[in-house]
Amino acid sequence: MPGMATLLPLIGCVFIAFVVGSNDTSNALGICIGCEILKFKKALCLFGPFVLLGAVLQGQKVMKTVGNDLLEVNFSILGVSLIVSALLIAFSNWKKLPLSTHQVIVGSFTGAGMASGIPVSMEFVAKIVLSWIVSPLGALFSALLIYKLMEKTLSRFSVFRIETILKSLLILCAIVIAYTTGANELATVLGGAVHGGLFSPTAASCGGALFVFLGALFLSPRVIETVGKGITTLDPYSGFAAQFGAATNVFIFTCLGMPVSTTFCIIGGIVGVGALKGMETVRFDLMRKMMLSWVAAPLLSFCICFIATKGLMFFPKGFFWV
Amino acid sequence: MLLKKLLAPGKKEKAVIEDLTRHIKLLCSGLDVFERAFRDKDRDLMASIIDLEREADVIRRDVISNIYEGAFLPYLRPRLCKFAEVIDCVFDLLEDAAYQYLDLVINASIQNYCTQIAALNGKIGEMLLLSFETLMGGGDLRDKALAIRVYEKKVDDIKLDLVRDLRKVEVKTFWDGKALSDFVSSLTSVSDIIEDASDYLQVINVSMR
């Protein structure tokens, strides 16, 4: 059933791109909309083109890592992995569990690949896992550095001037994160499909960016409201340091072709700024929950995909398995 | 040029800053008018305080409405609104004092104390304006805040003597006594509230750092 074999990964890609739009838009636009620097529609007009630009200009490296260097995907692996990822992401959204899209997709590909006997590059698995560890830590230190730098430079200005400068910097930050959403988040989703031969990189980038945009348009306002208002009422100064620290790290890892989570990097940045203000400001209960999700997401997706692939391999070749 | 334009405050922010400056300048005028009216026993001039309070109300409403429409980051908004409201409280006290003065005959034994307090209130108001201008320029507010506290302490000291002498003033009816007491209370509270406003400026100054 070649039709089914191409339809399932397509559905998976569309669904996950839509979810990236609905959930991860808040990473880029949450503060700007929460602070009323930009209205939702204007912010979205800024977000969409930069997601597309990121995917087209710099998405290839991450796509190659996920779809080619990690393992050579075929339609069957693609179908199982993306459908399992989509279901897991849908379940986590329904249960409000913070699962990272990157980790779920990489875990799924690895699980499906290992179960079907396709060689999985352990070197790349190690590199990706290492980048998942290093990127939030990098964001933590970057946020600390940015905060210190802001204290040394911005604090010389009047409070009203600082406020104006912060507004411009927050818009810049939103643009960088929108760009990395395309170059990293979306590229992770599309990597398998592009290197599995389902789409060309340009077509995948354009289509993916469109579904990210639609997800952002239809489902992100509530998430943005929660994240944006929650952060900005605290402190835009720290918020910017955390967000920009995360943005620079995701950008660096994107240049290296490593799929990393913007959300985890932002959390790293927030912890960095929080630690600077006193460890009592860091919510360790929430940190524990995030750490648990960090470990559980790739393991869970790996196990489910491994079992699902083994199960599907019992069917006659050609029925599903190509 | 582009950078300068990019870093310049927006229209709404500019309007709020201009309104707040106007609000404090109006307060200085109000305090000055009160002092002159009290010293010269000019009832017509004293009555003009009521108009100034109305004008200040309009400015406060403009400040709050501009902030409500999105001027400044949300983090700064409640503090700026609170500052405008505190300034408005000073106008309310000044207006109360002016109303009570119009119904009173001030005893000669407390006239001098009240004149001194009114003069000090004027100086505290000017210092608040200086503080606000320093805040806009990005300077250090601590010396201005200290000066306001010193003036406020002087008012408190005069108030002690004033209250002691006030007890010796003979009042004919309960309402005459109440009006006199309310007048003194309003006049001596002005410096307290301006000190609060100065503290708010300090909070605004450190809030974005």
DSSP annotation of A267: H
Q: Say which CATH number the domain at B33 has.
A: 1.20.58.220
Is the pLDDT reported for residue A232 higher than 50? no
A160 vs B6, B9, B74: nearest CB: B9
Is residue B100 one of the residues assigned to a domain? Answer: yes
**Residue B3 within a domain:** no
Q: Evaluate whether residue B99 is within a structural domain.
A: yes
CB A37 within 8 A of CB A240: no
Whether B209 and A160 lie within 8 Å, measured CB to CB: no
Q: With a cut of 0.90, is the ipTM above it?
A: no
Per-residue model confidence (pLDDT) at position A191: 93
Average pLDDT across chain B, whole number: 92
Query: What range does the domain containing B114 cover?
Result: 8-207
Provide the domain count of chain B: 1
Task: Give yes or no for a contact between A52 and A68, defined as CB atoms under 8 angstroms apart.
Answer: no
- What is the number of structural domains in chain A? 1
Tell me the pTM. Answer: 0.84
Per-residue pLDDT for A187 more than 80?
yes
Angle, helices A40-64 vs A2-34, to 10°: value is: 130
Provide, as residue numbers in chain B, all residues whose Cβ is less than 8 Å from the Cβ of A163. Answer: 9, 13, 72-73, 76, 208
Q: Which domain holds residue A62?
A: 2-312
Domain contains A268: yes
Count contacts between A and B (CB, < 8 Å): 65
Residues of A in contact with B73 (CB under 8 A): 35, 37, 163, 166-167, 232, 236
Each residue's pLDDT tens digit, B101-150: 998 888 889 999 999 999 999 999 999 999 999 999 888 899 999 999 99
- Chain A residue numbers with beta carbons less than 8 Å from the beta carbon of B70 are 36
Does the structure show a pLDDT above 90 at A318? no
pLDDT tens sequence across A292-316: 888 899 999 999 999 999 888 877 6
Q: How far is CA A230 from CA A224, A225, B204, in A?
A: 9, 8, 21
Q: Closest chain A residue to B207 measured between Cα atoms?
A: A159
Residues in Cβ contact with B12 at an 8 Å cutoff, skipping those fewer than 6 apart: B66, B67, B69, B70, B71, B72
Contact B10 A164 (CB under 8 A): yes
Nearest-CA distance A93 → chain B (Å): 29
Please check whether residue A50 lies inside any domain of the structure: yes
Interface contact A36-B70, CB threshold 8 A: yes
| Average pLDDT taken over every residue of chain A | 87
Residue B197 lies in a domain: yes
Give contacts of A230 with chain B, Cβ < 8 Å. none
Contacts A273 to B, Cβ<8 Å: none
Query: What's the start-to-end Cα distance of chain A, in Å?
Result: 8
* A96 φ/ψ sector (left φ>0, alpha ψ -120 to 50, else beta): left
Residue A251, token pair as written in the block: 């950008």
**Nearest chain B CA: its distance from A34 CA (Å):** 8
Evaluate whether residue B2 is within a structural domain: no
User: Using CB atoms, which residue from A158, A235, A236 is nearest to B137?
Assistant: A158
Q: Is A34 in Cβ contact with B75 (below 8 Å)?
A: no
State the nearest Cα–Cα gap between A222 and chain B, in angstroms.
18
